[in-house]
Amino acid sequence: MAHKITLIPGDGIGPEVADATVRALEATGVAIEWELAELSASIIEKAGTSLPPHVLESLEKTGVGLKGPVTTPIAGGFKSVNVAIRKQLDLFANVRPVFTLPGLKTRFQDVNINMVIFRENTEDLYSGLEHEVVKDVVESLKIITRYASTRIAKYAFAYSQKNGRRKVTAIHKANIMKLSDGLFIRCCREVAAEYPDIDYNEMIVDNASMQLVMRPETFDVLLLPNLYGDIVSDLAAGLVGGLGVVPGANMGEKQAVFEAVHGSAPDIAGKGVANPTALMSSAILMLRHLGESAAADRLQAALAKTFRDGAHLTRDLGGKASTREFTDAVIGNLA
């Protein structure tokens, strides 16, 4: 029986990396029935909402989405599509595995980085509660609740136990924000007590950022509230090659959306040179979510072999291959 999945190609390079990923997924032999949900800046502006009804209805029906990048305006315009999807579907856990890819030249290419970042996805400063108190004085409200903090902590610890992870590091700024981050840390400690077989420690976010750059190999699982999670997960991605090579998953009780977390790169859109690694890696997470672990392992191995061989990497990875040539190499390595 085919898996029904909502495909949101996005805009910019989105349709190109989405097409490459669909080709790779089809080559695994997994039966998938795609439901296309077009979403772009122009569609959003015409609809007057970041999340038009046809997209939301499709995700609610299929329960699983694969999403390319969608352009988000800065300091104005419509609100972030990603934030809208996470809030509307209560996708409370943002999960980002960050690991060293074989053969990829980075400043940390000789270090074995293998961590998973769990970011609370629904509140904090991303609640969007801000207003102008008086002219040129703006206030933003940071919302931290026991419910959301406990839920993301339980998700991170349960994942760690299931996948043989040995250490969870909760990251915070409770030395300054004693009430909000203090509540987050207390919830993490309470959940940690339920998992005595997993090591638990805490780090202040500025120190954690420094330690990630100095000793990234010492981290295993990171647990963070929304804003710190957003920043730290991008920092960690930079250690292994950037946002173009790391996957992303947004998990809820009923739905899950797997996405490339990089931008839409309109400057190279349509040129056939975009790197589809991030969306392919996100699709691997999606296959595992669907129970297709064997296919996920095969696609992961094929992707790793493509990087190890190095002959068909896109130019952002130091190579000269087109999107199609890179994808053909991955598909060839599936065999």
- pLDDT at position 160 is 98
pTM score: 0.94
Residue 146: CB atoms within 10 A of its CB come to 12
Query: Residues 73-81: what's their mean pLDDT?
Result: 61
Instruction: For residue 6, give both structure tokens.
Output: 């909502």
H or E segment and range at residue 188: helix 180-192
Q: Report d(CA 24, CA 19) in Å as an integer.
A: 9
Q: Is the pLDDT of residue 72 over 80?
A: no
pLDDT band at 107 (very low <50, low <70, confident <90, very high): confident
Helix (H, G, I), strand (E, B) or coil at 37: coil
Q: Which amino acid is at 47?
A: A
Q: Which of 323, 280, 312 is nearest to 16 (CA)?
A: 323
Query: Residues 256-265: what's their mean pLDDT?
Result: 94
- pLDDT at position 78 is 57
Query: Residues 89-100: what's their mean pLDDT?
Result: 96
Q: Is the pLDDT of residue 275 over 60?
A: yes
- pLDDT at position 207 is 98
- pLDDT at position 26 is 97
pLDDT band at 113 (very low <50, low <70, confident <90, very high): very high
196-215 pLDDT tens trace: 999 999 999 999 999 999 99
Q: Report d(CA 250, CA 258) in Å as an integer.
A: 6
pLDDT band at 246 (very low <50, low <70, confident <90, very high): very high
- pLDDT at position 77 is 55
142-184 pLDDT tens trace: 999 999 999 999 999 999 999 999 999 999 999 999 999 999 9
Query: Residues 220-233: what's their mean pLDDT?
Result: 98
Q: Is the pLDDT of residue 277 over 80?
A: yes
Spatial CB neighbours of 263, under 8 Å, sequence gap ≥ 6:
12, 69, 71, 243
For the chain, the average pLDDT equals: 94
Query: Residues 3-19: what's their mean pLDDT?
Result: 96
Q: Is the pLDDT of residue 297 over 90?
A: yes
H or E segment and range at residue 332: helix 323-334
Q: Report d(CA 319, CA 52) in Å as an integer.
A: 38
Q: Report d(CA 124, CA 121) in Å as an integer.
A: 8
Q: Which of 109, 124, 114 is nearest to 221 (CA)?
A: 114
Residue ranges of domains in the chain, CATH in brackets: 1-91+252-335 (3.40.718.10), 105-113+123-241 (3.40.718.10)
Q: Which of 117, 98, 118, 116 is nearest to 108 (CA)?
A: 98
Q: Is the pLDDT of residue 74 over 80?
A: no
Q: Report d(CA 237, CA 220) in Å as an integer.
A: 14
Instruction: For residue 163, give both structure tokens.
Output: 């996948």
